[in-house]
Chains A and B, each alone.
Chain A
Amino acid sequence: MKEQTINISGHYLFPSAIFVTEKDYLVTTVLGSCVAVCLYDTVRKVGGINHYMLPLWNGKGLASPKFGNIAIEQLITKMLKSGAKKENLIAKLFGGANQSSSTMRIGERNVELAIDLLQKNDINIVARSTGGFVGRKIIFNTSTGQVRMKYVNK
């Protein structure tokens, strides 16, 4: 794996942020009950990723990609703006761990929402690692669409 990390810029993706690029990047993010959707255009080599914390915006605060319904719509829109074609898109889905019983199944609901919205947009989920009880750290390679994942106790 070593050769991959050489000469590729890194980007750390914070919660509630979106990152889309047609350049080569290694995007890292750490997920607990949050979910990250990685989209990749297999033909045009455009990659994009979001990191949302809650499933649905309830009208409170700003309509930001902290919420899954907004984060996924925006990610798709930004991908298309960057030259991706919807029919070339594949999705990889990570996160949504249920780390404590008091979070009202937030992890699960985050994952359900992603599956639902991606299906509605006819985007295939080709890989996923979701649920469970531990967090994940992922590194998304925007030039190949590959995701390396490790479980972390976060």
Chain B
Amino acid sequence: MGNQIKLTDAELLNELKIRFEQNQKILKAQKKMIRQVEDLNEKLIESERLKGHFLSNIKNEINNPLAAILGLSNSIMSNAHDKDKVAINSALIHKEIVNLNFQLGNIFCAAEIEAGEKSPEISNVNICALIESVIDMFADTAKQKNIHIKFNYTSKTSFKTDAAKLHLILSNLLSNAIKFGGECSEITVKTDIDKDQLIINVIDNGVGIAEEYHAAIFDRFKQLESGTMKAYEGHGLGLSVVKSLVDILNGEIEVESVEGYGSAFTIKLPEGLTLRDDLQFSSSGNDFLFGDDNEVIF
């Protein structure tokens, strides 16, 4: 106690004031952090809840086409002699199976991404042919709603990317555009290859998405409407799969949408590197890159 420093009253007051302010600052930061934790917690609870919805939802998504296929195949067996009927029913079965295959593809893909088992597999892809095959896949569904799909492209069509992933990305965007596009509306698919970047737009003039929901649409299992009364089928997995696939391909996805006027989704992908181009090490490349003075061994 012998080394006490004498402070004037003014100094003491000043010091108290500084410490008081510091405390306030810490308290403020703490409050902010608690709010963040609460937000996150709410999000996780919501995510769990949505997962529950997803399971009951998925039952319908899979059961309905399965029941249809069962019925149709039965009818084929009992009308085997009637060629016309067989042809019609086979076409209907095919349509249901295409849809089922797409739905299951999304679920398997989501499971693989969540297990860390999806990596880019880059090859030279004919982008136009790929987009045409996606449009073809949904031609029947679009026709049912009298939706016209326009496809514009530039002359260059070859691009290095992951064909299967791009196919699933576009299938989801187009399926959504058809689902949320009105009867007799129009969907435009545009593609442009600009230097080392592939840009694809999928534009519909359907129901659109209010601005406050633009961020939430990529959340897992999120559909802006939920419950048994929801107007649109689906399980809310599509866009979260799209987002994750675009991430894997180092790309970006943007959405522009006005409620009531339609939505425009834009994906931008950089040209992929085949493993041989850059990253993969062969035994010889490995010796070249490694084994010099710079290497450290752990």
Contact = CB atoms under 8 A, between A and B. Distances in A.
A13 B280 CA distance: 9
A128 B296 CA distance: 11
A62 B241 contact: yes
Contacts of B220: 59, 61-63
Interface string A56-75: 00111111111000110010
A151 B43 CA distance: 38
Given A59-B43, A92-B298, A14 B286 contact: no
Interface string B250-291: 000000000000000000000000010001111100110111
B219 A59 contact: yes
A146 B114 contact: no
Contacts of A26: 281, 286
B185 interface: no
B295 A16 contact: no
Interface in B162-186: none
B275 A12 contact: yes
Chain A, interface residues (CB within 8 Å), range: 35 or more
A34 interface: no
A61 B244 contact: yes
A110 interface: no
10 contacts: A2-B287, A5-B283, A5-B286, A10-B286, A15-B248, A28-B279, A66-B244, A66-B247, A147-B297, A149-B298
Interface of B: 40, 43-44, 46-47, 110, 113-120, 215, 218-220, 240-241, 243-244, 247-248, 275, 279-283, 286-287, 289-291, 294-298
